[in-house]
Amino acid sequence: MSGTQTQVIVVAGAGPAGMAVASALSKAGHEIIILNRDIKFGGLAEYGIFPSKLKLRGGLKKQYWELLQQKNVHYFGNVSIGNGKDLTVEDVRGLGANAVVFTIGAQGTKAIGVEGDSAQGVFHAKDVVYHFNRLPGFGDRPFEMGKHVAVIGAGDVMVDIAHWLIRYKKVERVTAIVRRGPVERKYNPKEIRSVCANMDLEGIKAEFERIKDRLAKVGQNSGEVLKAFTDEFTKCEAKVSETKMGFRFLASPKRILVDGNNRVRGLEMEDNRLDPKGEDTVAVGLKAYYEFPCDSVVFAVGDKVDETVGLPYKNGMFTTNPNKTGNDPDDALFQAYDESAGKVMDGVFLAGWARKASEGLVGVAKRDGDWCAEVVERYLATKAGEGDVNIVLDRLHARLRQRQSRPVDVNGLRALDVAERSFVEKSDCIGEFKFSANQEMLKCIERGRV
């Protein structure tokens, strides 16, 4: 702890991890400057979590508003960090803050790496989620789905995509494509309630019949597994469409098959078996291929960080200190590390999905932010002298003016909030009104429609 010294910390990113860092360090009396790409705070809490989860989203929003009211918290929305953006990483480091924490999430897209992945009708889950949550840049772009959508993945994001396809797009069929078996499903049983009214139970039974011998080889009884699987289909949300949802297990897409117009017409699938691996299993390709007909494909297989930001990067992750340091070896995990220079980036830290892409729910990101704040506190305690927030803010304003950026502060956010509420009668399928273009939001903010 830095005693009575007030220091200045820049937090890049205002998602759950960044807000946790900001909250902990502001409570410790430091001055916090938040720089956020989106005009609005919240990150995936605003633009990822399914729109109908009003209680969760509302609770987070309330906490974040409270944080931004604090005198020692300075919010700059609409400020993107990266090469050619409002500020580079070096600009941010050059502002003179005592520490900088990057909590910018996992904005990169994992290369799908199957032939045909640029065909019309192939989508990445993150883009689809951003679309239905109306993130500027995605909200107004058409995401035209066909009649039969294959969603690759077995986690909560797969369920969210299915939810949207069933409830709002009302497609004919959704099939979750799962590399391993039903036992290895990753979604939370509570999440399946949003789609279970639409389950094609006969189709699911037939699918279990198809794979029962392969399940038996790893000691899984298909009858018992089917029961456990379908027992989770309780408290289903009311049915609003005739969409049928099914599963294809032990299946790895190898190629996207297209028609003469480069539009998806199916997937070339490889059948897998399961092999035991300790307590777990692994999928092993059987080199037996077949065509699976569908006309749209959504890959819900997780994300990676954005390597173009300018932070040291390797294998989908920003690099952190490989050398254990100090009293607490975990501190190293939060320190940005430049492998080419072979050293820690002094005073630069990472937390949340920027540190571990696609890892866990809001609670996990928040805990990561809390831990990171402790690490930053230990770091600040080793540094002499106070920080001067006015100097840092002056430099920041000057840089943003130079770049002709249009930052949005907390008063701007308030004006935007009032304006959006006043449009509520125009609310679309997501049940609330949101502008889906930065220009519209900025116009509203500048008009100060309070």
Ligand X SMILES: Cc1cc2nc3c(=O)[nH]c(=O)nc-3n(C[C@H](O)[C@H](O)[C@H](O)COP(=O)(O)OP(=O)(O)OC[C@H]3O[C@@H](n4cnc5c(N)ncnc54)[C@H](O)[C@@H]3O)c2cc1C
Choose, by CB under 6 A, the member of 52, 53, 110, 246 that binds ligand X.
Answer: 53
Q: With respect to ligand X, which residue has the nearer C-beta, 83 or 118?
A: 83
The verdict on 160 binding ligand X (CB under 6 A) reads yes
* x/- track of binding to ligand X for residues 20-49 (CB under 6 A): ---------------xxxx----xxx--xx
Nearer to ligand X, 82 or 189 (CB): 82
Q: Which is nearer to ligand X, 116 or 352 (CB)?
A: 352
DSSP-derived letter for residue 298 is: E
Nearest residue to 395 (alpha-carbon basis) of 92, 130, 160, 172: 92
Cα 241 to chain centroid distance, Å, stands at 27
> Which is nearer to ligand X, 49 or 99 (by Cβ)?
49
Site string (299-328) toward ligand X, x via CB under 6 A: ----------x-------------------
Phi, psi of 345, deg, nearest 5: -80, 105
**Maximum C-alpha span of the chain:** 69
Instruction: Point out which span in 68-76, 78-86, 270-278, 419-427 binds ligand X (CB under 6 A).
Output: 78-86
Of 8-16, 109-117, 268-276, 288-296, the segment contacting ligand X by CB under 6 A is: 8-16
Rounded to whole angstroms, the Cα distance separating 426 from 3 reads: 51
Which residues are CB-contacts of 68 (< 8 A; sequence separation ≥ 6)?
34, 41, 75, 410, 413
Q: Nearer Cβ to ligand X, position 294 or 354?
A: 354
**Cβ at position 271, least distance to ligand X in Å:** 29
Distance between CA atoms of residues 334 and 336, nearest Å: 7
Whose Cβ is closer to ligand X: residue 45's or residue 145's? 45
Q: Hey, which residues between 352 and 391 contact ligand X (CB under 6 A)? A: 352-354, 360-362, 364-365
Q: What is the DSSP string of 150-201?
A: EEE--SHHHHHHHHHIIIII--SEEEEE-SS-GGG--S-TTGGGGTGGGB-H
Answer for which of 11, 92, 119, 129 binds ligand X (CB under 6 A) is 129
State how far the Cα of 203 lies from the Cα of 209, in Å rounded to an integer.
10
Q: Does 12 bind ligand X (CB under 6 A)?
A: yes
Under rule CB under 6 A, residue 18 binds ligand X? yes
Tell the smallest beta-carbon distance from residue 357 to ligand X (Å): 9
Q: How many residues bind to ligand X according to rule CB under 6 A?
A: 39
C-alpha 45/C-alpha 61 separation (Å) is: 8
Residue 257 DSSP code: E
From the CB of 20, what's the least distance to ligand X, in Å? 8
- Closer to ligand X at the Cβ: 56 or 301? 56
- In the numeric block, the tokens 């993150």 are attached to 126
In 3-state terms, what secondary structure has residue 326? coil
Q: What DSSP state is assigned to residue 274?
A: E
What is the rounded distance in angstroms from the CA atom of residue 110 to the CA atom of residue 124? Answer: 9
> Is the CB of 342 or the CB of 363 nearer to ligand X?
363
Quick check: 81 binds ligand X (CB under 6 A)? yes
In the bound state with ligand X, the residue whose beta carbon lies nearer, of 77 and 266, is: 77
Query: Cα(192)–Cα(111) distance, rounded to whole angstroms?
Result: 27
Shortest gap between Cβ of 154 and ligand X (angstroms)?
14
| Angle at alpha carbon of residue 408, lines to 406 and 414, rounded to 5° | 150
Nearest to 272 by CA among 256, 291, 288: 288
14 in contact with ligand X (CB under 6 A): yes
Residue 82 near ligand X by CB under 6 A: yes
Quote the least distance from Cβ 53 to ligand X, whole Å.
5
Contact predicate 448/412, CB 8 Å: no
Transcribe 5-24 into DSSP letters: ---EEEEE--SHHHHHHHHH
User: Closest distance between ligand X and the C-beta of residue 298, in Å?
Assistant: 11
Nearer to ligand X, 49 or 226 (CB): 49
Q: Please report whether residue 108 would count as binding ligand X according to CB under 6 A.
A: no
Q: Does the footprint of ligand X cover residue 60 (CB under 6 A)?
A: no
Q: Is 157 in the site for ligand X (CB under 6 A)?
A: yes
Structure letter (DSSP) for residue 332 = H
Residue from 9, 17, 336, 444 in contact with ligand X (CB under 6 A): 17
CB closer to ligand X, 156 vs 374: 156
Beta bridge partners of 257: 266
For 149, residues 6+ apart whose C-beta sits below 8 A from its C-beta are: 165, 171, 173, 174, 175, 294, 295, 296, 297, 298
Would you tell me which residues interact with ligand X (CB under 6 A)?
A: 12-18, 35-38, 43-45, 48-50, 53, 56, 80-82, 103-105, 107, 129, 156-157, 160, 309, 352-354, 360-362, 364-365
